[in-house]
Chain A
Amino acid sequence: MSDTYDLVRDAGAKPPILTLPLDAWHRERGGRMVEFAGYHMPVQYEGIMAEHQWTRAHAGLFDVSHMGQLVLRGDNVAQALESLLPGAFTTLKPGKQRYSLLLADDGGVLDDLIVTNRGDDFYVVVNGATKHADIAHIAARLPEGVALAHLEDHALLALQGPEAAVALGALGLVPAGDATRTLDALVFMEAAPFVWNGVALGVSRSGYTGEDGFEISVHRDHVAALADALLAQPAVKPIGLGARDSLRLEAGLPLYGHDLSPDIDPVEADLGFAIPARRRVADAGYPGAARLARAFAEGTARRRVGLLIEGRMAAREGAEVLADGRTVGTVTSGGFAPSLERPIAMAFVETALAVPGTSLTLSVRGKTLAATVTSLPFHPHRYVRKGAA
């Protein structure tokens, strides 16, 4: 037997694997640690299936401290962000967040990220495996007067699921800024500062599971106490990377390094929502603008889609997608979907075939699987939006 998380193999001449502030905390709670993004991280505690279902029904606590937490501050910082990223940041109001993409000059995706306007500065969360390259890319392109800081002393927790708001609410967080910006007042993609037991927390209502939930930035010295307080809530269990992956796949959310890469542009990846109309022009002034303008104007040859797969056998990254015996695309991530009780996948396929309802086949280890293109997400998002009761 062998598998991708092989325990027996010699690690070889690799850089040392780093530990995160909650390393001992995970091990004490039965977390099975694997290497991810250069860190020891928990892939599961009681089991991926159970953790996935728990998060969909209650609240799951994820340690995502491997991610890069950056702060940009200075003169005209919103304009500086627009010179780096294809999103709209001069119109992003304080307390609001936006999803965006870091692009190479040729329009390929270097990372995906979330930008928060904190009023005095902009806070950016990037992927763990790419954070050092992101920092170099951003630092090399920042205009005079804008400074970039990496919050290496901060941990990041995510609390996700329909009972997340009640569980976090039970901790009695006190607004640190505008007193009207309580936890309950936050809606999806909004953020605010809070104080808990004298500890500063940066809280946003966002996440990577498709559920309602929060991401909480806290100094590393206090993260274990915060994780303990959250875990003391009956609705909360710790959740590993395995369920984080199956939850985000069902939610139709791309994973950098798999569904996004330097060979893929955001239009192909069906992330056009992140680029407002005024920025879809070749002279918009950010790396990759010319390719994006062309992609929006002329369309792209391929498109990211969801696939529902017949039977029980999963198709994983690298599986060929075929139509009438001809290769028309590739699976970029896939697996068994616990909430749908069937295998699902994301793939890039020829645009003419990227239409929900289209029948395709997949080639997996010499076997042919039937698949149907479906609209994303696979599992409905349950975000708390403005105006919702």
Chain B
Amino acid sequence: MTRYFTADHEWIAVEGDTATVGITDYAQSQLGDITFVELPAVGASLGKGDSASVVDSVKAASDVYAPVSGAVTEVNPALEDAPELVNSAPEGEGWLWKMTLSDAGQLDGLMDEAAYAAYVAGL
């Protein structure tokens, strides 16, 4: 499984032709206490860069964008009762949705873990 990162602080973990998407630890630390997560509909078709989900924190609502194009296959059911999982385990149990990849070539434009760490260090 390979994990990629976007400049907008999403992560995408790819396994074959499907992927899991969430927000990074840096993103959750900037947002603060998350109180609600609005998830995409299963089956929804996402274009790379589309607003797919909204993460509500005490201070603001923030869009989460699709890192690549594809269709939503599953959303994280645990977030309905426990949106705080996005704070406590953003890159694990706090994942947001799973999707197919319609163009694996789009992954080439994303950062790997080391590049993202350097990017965050420079913010």
Contact = CB atoms under 8 A, between A and B. Distances in A.
B30 A3 contact: yes
A203 to B, nearest CB: 30
Contacts, number: 78
Nearest to B56: A314
A280 interface: no
Interface in B68-87: 83
Interface stretch (A42-50, A131-139, A227-235): A42-50
A48 B32 contact: yes
Contact of A336 (B10, B56, B123): B56
Contacts of B10: 1
A151 to B, nearest CB: 30
Interface in A355-389: 365, 367
B63 A338 contact: no
A26 interface: no
Contacts of B30: 3, 5, 7
A341 B23 CA distance: 24
Interface string B44-61: 000000000011111111
Listed residue (A2, A7, A8) with the most chain B CB atoms within 10 angstroms of its CB: A2
A372 to B, nearest CB: 19
A7 B123 contact: yes
B94 to A, nearest CB: 14
B97 to A, nearest CB: 14
A255 to B, nearest CB: 13
Contacts of A343: 35-36
B64 interface: yes
Interface in B1-53: 7-10, 23, 27, 30-33, 35-36, 38
B83 A316 contact: no
Given A336-B56, A365-B38, A2 B62 contact: yes
B60 A3 contact: yes
A336 B62 contact: no
A48 B58 contact: yes
A1 B83 CA distance: 17
Contacts of A52: 58
A50 B57 CA distance: 13
Contacts of B57: 3, 48
A335 B58 contact: yes
Contacts of B123: 7-8
A313 interface: yes
Contacts of A43: 59
B65 interface: yes
A1 B51 CA distance: 9
A332 interface: no
Contacts of A2: 8, 62-63
A234 B2 CA distance: 47
Given A47-B33, A48-B32, A336 B60 contact: no
B32 A316 contact: no
A335 B64 contact: no
Which 7 A-B residue pairs are closest in the complex by CB-CB distance? A3-B62, A49-B33, A336-B35, A312-B36, A48-B58, A1-B9, A4-B60
Given A3-B60, A242-B59, A312-B36, 14 more contacts: A1-B55, A2-B63, A3-B30, A3-B61, A3-B62, A5-B60, A8-B123, A48-B33, A48-B59, A314-B35, A335-B59, A336-B35, A336-B56, A365-B54
29 contacts: A1-B8, A1-B9, A1-B62, A1-B65, A2-B8, A2-B63, A3-B61, A3-B62, A5-B59, A7-B123, A44-B59, A47-B33, A48-B33, A48-B57, A50-B33, A242-B59, A246-B58, A312-B35, A312-B36, A313-B38, A313-B56, A314-B36, A336-B35, A336-B36, A336-B56, A338-B58, A343-B36, A365-B61, A367-B38
